[in-house]
């Protein structure tokens, strides 16, 4: 049995993990998911990490799971509390001293048209749920976007990257290069788009459990 600390992406919320959390709890695990203070103009990256660390409390056997923009937060949590594993799910991988706002140019991401956010981020999510996600989206305050990522090196924790083969935003071809260049590892791969916790919660839970048992 493990404790999964689930960190949402930019503009997201803790409830985005509800389907995955139910899967993991049904298998006997503990789950912690919090709303990062992304709308707080005074909150920086350490404040985001503080929210997760406070929610984790004294729980151990910790697996930190970070999605998308949450990749800037997951390693900060692992630097603060003992974690047995960090899993990045189609996530941004920060470099020491890099402001999140600079990540796009530094990685050669290029430009993506976001006129159709459902088609880009959630094309395989049930339409009603995808529209609910868009309708309840939160604005991201600027401070955490422009301050340098504060760690001098990656935390000393085993790290896995789960790439989504049908991701239209962080495409597989692009992310394979980023993962190899920044982490020096080969990503694992799962079917589906950018939001597997909403579209494929059972399959995502299978992968997360597999990391603990050695099946993945």
Assign domain 3-213 to its CATH architecture. 3-Layer(aba) Sandwich (3.40)
| Residue spans per domain, the chain | 3-213
What are the Cα distances from residue 154, in Å, to 96, 149, 203?
8, 11, 28
159-164 β-sheet, strand order: 30-33, 3-7, 62-67, 85-89, 159-164, 188-190
pLDDT at 111: 81
pLDDT in tens, the chain (216 residues): 899 999 999 999 999 999 999 999 999 999 999 999 999 999 999 999 999 999 999 988 999 999 999 999 999 999 999 999 999 999 999 999 999 999 999 999 988 888 899 999 999 999 999 999 999 999 999 999 999 999 999 999 999 999 999 999 999 999 999 999 999 999 999 999 999 999 999 999 999 999 998 766
pLDDT at 76: 98
pTM: 0.96
pLDDT at 216: 63
pLDDT at 165: 97
pLDDT at 60: 86
């Amino acid at each position: 049995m493990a404790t999964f600390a689930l960190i949402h992406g930019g503009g997201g919320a803790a409830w985005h993990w509800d389907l995955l959390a139910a899967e993991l709890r049904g298998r006997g695990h503990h789950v912690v998911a919090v709303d990062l203070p992304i709308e707080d103009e005074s909150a920086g990256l350490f404040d985001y990490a503080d929210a997760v660390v406070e929610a984790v409390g004294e729980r151990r056997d910790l697996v930190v799971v970070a999605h998308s923009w949450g990749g800037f937060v997951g390693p900060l949590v692992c630097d603060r509390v003992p974690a047995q594993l960090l899993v990045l799910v189609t996530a941004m991988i920060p470099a020491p001293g890099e402001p999140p706002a600079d990540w796009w140019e530094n990685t050669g991401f290029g430009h993506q048209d976001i006129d159709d956010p459902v088609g880009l981020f959630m094309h395989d999510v049930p339409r009603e749920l995808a529209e609910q996600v868009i309708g309840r989206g939160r604005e991201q305050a600027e401070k955490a976007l422009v301050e340098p990522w504060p760690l001098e090196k990656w935390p000393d924790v085993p790290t896995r990257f789960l790439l989504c083969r049908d991701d239209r935003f962080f495409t597989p071809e692009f992310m394979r290069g980023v993962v190899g260049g920044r982490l020096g590892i080969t990503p694992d791969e799962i079917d589906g788009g950018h939001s597997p916790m909403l579209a494929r919660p059972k399959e995502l839970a299978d992968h997360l459990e597999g990391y603990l048992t050695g099946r993945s």
